[in-house]
Chains A and B, each alone.
Chain A
Amino acid sequence: MNYLPKSLAVGFVLATFAASSVFAAGTHPVTGEALADDQTFTYSLLDEFTTADPQMVEDVSGSYFVRDLFEGLMNQDADGNLIPGVATGYTTNDAKDVYTFTLRDNARWSDGNPVTAHDFVYSWRRLADPATASPYSWFADIMALENVGAVMSGESSPEALGIRALDNHTLEVRLTASLPYFAAMTTHASTFPSPQWTVRTFGDNWTKPGNIVGNGAYVLTEHIPNETATRERNTMYWNNDATIIDKVVTLVINDENTDFTRWEAGETDKGAIPSGQYPRLKAEYPDEAISFPRLCTYYMTFNLSPSGPEAFKDVRVRQALSYALDRSVVTDKVLQGGQIQAFTFTPGATAGFEVPAVAFGQMSQDERNAKAKELMAAAGYGPDNPLKFEYMYNTSEGHKKIAIAAQQMWKETLGAEATLANQEWKTFLKTRGGQNFDVARGGWCGDYNEASTFLDLMTTPSGYNDGKFSNAEVDELMTSARTMSDATSNYTRVEEIMANEMPIIPVYHYTGVFMLRSNLKGWPFNNVEQNVYSRDLYKVAD
Chain B
Amino acid sequence: MLNYIIKRIGIAIPTLLILIAVTFYLMHAAPGGPFTSEKPLPPQVLANIEAKYGLDQPIWRQMTTYLWGILTEFDFGPSYKYHSRTVNEIIGQGFPITLKYGFWSFVVAISVGISLGAIAAIRKNTWVDYFAVGVSIGAQVLPNFVMAPLLIIVFTLWLGWLPGGGWHGGDWEYLVMPVIALSTSYMASIARITRSSMLEVLNANYIRTARAKGLPTKTIFFRHVFKPSLLPVISYLGPAFVGLITGSVLIDIFFSTGGMGYFFVNAAFNRDYAVMMGITILVGALTILFSLIVDLLYAWIDPKIRY
Query: Which A residues are closer than 8 A to B by beta carbons?
Result: 47-48, 50-51, 53, 56, 58, 130-131, 133-135, 137-138, 141, 149, 152-154, 204-208, 224-228, 251-255, 257-258, 261-262, 264-265, 267, 424-427, 429-431, 433, 443, 463-464
The residue of chain A having its C-beta at the shortest distance from the C-beta of B145 within the complex is A255
Instruction: Name the contact of B167 in the complex, choosing from A138, A205, A224 (C-beta under 8 A).
Output: A224
Q: Mark B22-40, 1 if CB is under 8 A from A, else 0.
A: 0000000011110111111
B268 CB to nearest chain A CB (Å): 9
Q: When A261-B156, A262-B165 are in contact, do A252 and B83 touch as well, CB less than 8 Å?
A: no
Chain A residues within 8 Å of B239, by CB: none
Q: Known: A50-B83, A205-B84, A426-B32. Is A464-B256 also a contact (CB below 8 A)?
A: no
Task: Say yes or no: is B253 at the interface (Cβ < 8 Å to chain A).
Answer: yes
Within 75-90 of B, Cβ neighbours of A (below 8 Å) are at 78, 81-85, 90
| Interface pair A141/B42, CB less than 8 Å apart | yes
Interface flag for B160 (CB, 8 Å): yes
Please indicate the chain A residues that have their CB under 8 angstroms from the CB of B35 in the complex.
Answer: 135
A–B complex contacts, Cβ < 8 Å, 16 sampled:
A47-B266, A50-B81, A130-B51, A134-B45, A152-B48, A204-B78, A206-B84, A225-B258, A253-B256, A254-B262, A257-B149, A258-B165, A265-B156, A425-B269, A426-B271, A430-B31
Q: Are B32 and A51 in contact (CB under 8 A)?
A: no
A267 to chain B, nearest CB (A): 6
**B residues engaging A (CB < 8 A)?**
30-33, 35-42, 44-45, 48-49, 51-53, 78, 81-85, 90, 93-94, 148-149, 152-153, 156-157, 160, 163-167, 252-258, 262-263, 266, 269-271
Query: 9 smallest A-B Cβ distances: which pairs?
Result: A426-B32, A133-B52, A226-B258, A227-B258, A130-B48, A262-B164, A254-B253, A430-B31, A427-B31
A57 to chain B: closest residue by CB:
B83
Is B36's CB under 8 angstroms from A253's CB? no
Find out whether the CB atom of A426 lies under 8 angstroms from the CB atom of B166.
no
Closest Cβ of chain B: how far from A139's Cβ, in Å?
A: 10
Give every chain A residue within 8 A of B81 (Cβ-Cβ): 50
Q: A133 contacts which of B38, B51, B85 (Cβ < 8 Å)?
A: B51
Given A224-B258, A429-B32, CB of A51 within 8 Å of CB of B84 = yes
Q: Report A-chain residues with C-beta under 8 Å of the C-beta of B45.
A: 134-135, 137-138, 141, 152
Contact between B39 and A464, CB atoms less than 8 A apart: yes
- The answer to whether B42 touches A258 (Cβ under 8 A) is no
Is A262 touching B156 in the complex (CB atoms < 8 A)? Answer: yes
* Complex partner residue of B32 from A48, A135, A427, A464, CB under 8 angstroms: A427
A141 CA / B46 CA spacing, docked (Å): 13
In the complex, A491 Cα to B152 Cα: how many Å? 50
Instruction: Pick the residue among A48, A131, A206, A433 that contacts B82 (CB under 8 A).
Output: A48
A138 to B35, CA, bound (A): 13
Q: Contact between A267 and B164 (Cβ–Cβ < 8 Å)?
A: yes
Cα–Cα, bound, A228→B41 (Å): 30
Q: Is the CB of A261 within 8 A of B40?
A: no
How many A-B residue pairs have C-beta atoms within 8 angstroms? Tell me. 141
Query: Which residues of A lie under 8 Å from residue B148 when comparing CB positions?
Result: 258
Q: For the complex, give the distance between the alpha carbons of A463 and B40 in Å.
A: 7
Contacts of A134 in B (CB 8 A): 45
Q: What residues of chain A lie closer than 8 Å to B37, measured between beta carbons?
A: 58, 135, 429
For the complex, what is the distance from the CA of A294 to the CA of B37, rounded to whole Å?
21
Contact check, A252 vs B256: say whether CB atoms are below 8 A apart: yes
Compute how far the CA of A226 lies from the CA of B262 in the bound complex, rounded to whole angstroms.
9
Inside 8 A of B271's CB, which chain A residues have their CB? 426
The answer for the CA separation of A133 and B48 in the assembled complex, in Å, is 5
Closest A residue, CB atoms, query B148: A258
Among B49, B256, B271, the most chain A Cβ lie within 10 Å of the Cβ of B256
Minimum Cβ distance to chain B for residue A63 (Å): 14
- CA–CA, A425 to B167, complex, Å? 30
How long is the Cα–Cα vector from A46 to B71 in the complex, in angstroms? 36
CB distance from B179 to the nearest CB of A (A): 17
The docked-state distance in angstroms from the alpha carbon of A141 to that of B81 is 22
In the bound assembly, the distance between CA atoms of A140 and B82 in angstroms comes to 21
The smallest beta-carbon distance between B46 and chain A, in angstroms, is 9
**How many whole Å from B31's CB to the nearest CB in chain A?**
4
Q: Is the pair A265, B157 in contact by a Cβ cutoff of 8 Å?
A: yes
Q: Is the CB of B93 within 8 A of A258?
A: no
Whether A254 contacts B256 by the Cβ 8 Å rule is yes
16 more A-B residue pairs beyond the given contacts A141-B42, A225-B85, with a C-beta to C-beta distance below 8 A: A130-B51, A138-B42, A153-B44, A226-B252, A227-B256, A227-B257, A228-B166, A252-B256, A254-B262, A258-B164, A258-B254, A262-B165, A426-B31, A426-B36, A430-B32, A433-B40
**How far is A47 from B78 in the complex, measured between Cα atoms in Å?**
19
Asked if A261 and B152 sit within 8 Å, CB to CB, the answer is: yes
Chain B: minimal CB distance from A461 (Å)? 12
Among B81, B165, B257, find the residue whose CB has the most chain A CB atoms closer than 10 A.
Answer: B165
Q: What A residues does B40 contact at CB under 8 A? A: 429, 433, 463-464
Say yes or no: A207 contacts B84, CB within 8 Å: yes
Q: When chains A and B are docked, how far (Å) is the Cα of A56 from the Cα of B80?
A: 11
A228 smallest CB distance to B (angstroms): 7
- Bound Cα distance from A329 to B113, whole angstroms: 50
Task: Report the minimal beta-carbon distance from A261 to chain B, rounded to whole angstroms.
Answer: 5
Contact of B36 among A138, A255, A257, A429 (CB under 8 A): A429
Chain A residue with minimal CB distance to B255? A258
Which residues on the A side are within 8 Å of B39 (C-beta)?
Answer: 464
Q: How far is the CA of A56 from the CA of B35 in the complex (A)?
A: 13
Q: Which residue of B lies closest to A224 (CB)?
A: B258
Expressed in whole angstroms, the minimum distance between the Cβ of A288 and any Cβ of chain B is 16
> A33 CB to closest chain B CB, in angstroms?
29
Question: A251, B166: Cβ atoms under 8 Å?
Answer: yes
> How far is the CB of B150 from the nearest CB of chain A, in Å?
10
The answer to whether residues A208 and B84 also contact, given A225-B90, A254-B262, A267-B164 and a CB cut-off of 8 A, is yes
Which chain B residue shows the least CB distance to A444?
Answer: B38
Question: Which residues of B have CB within 8 Å of A153?
Answer: 44
- The interface residues of chain B lying within 8 Å CB-to-CB of A48 are 82
Q: Once bound together, how far apart are the Cα atoms of A265 and B82, in whole Å?
A: 30
**Chain A CB within 10 Å, residue with most, of B30, B42, B83, B253:** B83
Contacts of A135 in B (CB 8 A): 35, 37, 41, 45, 49
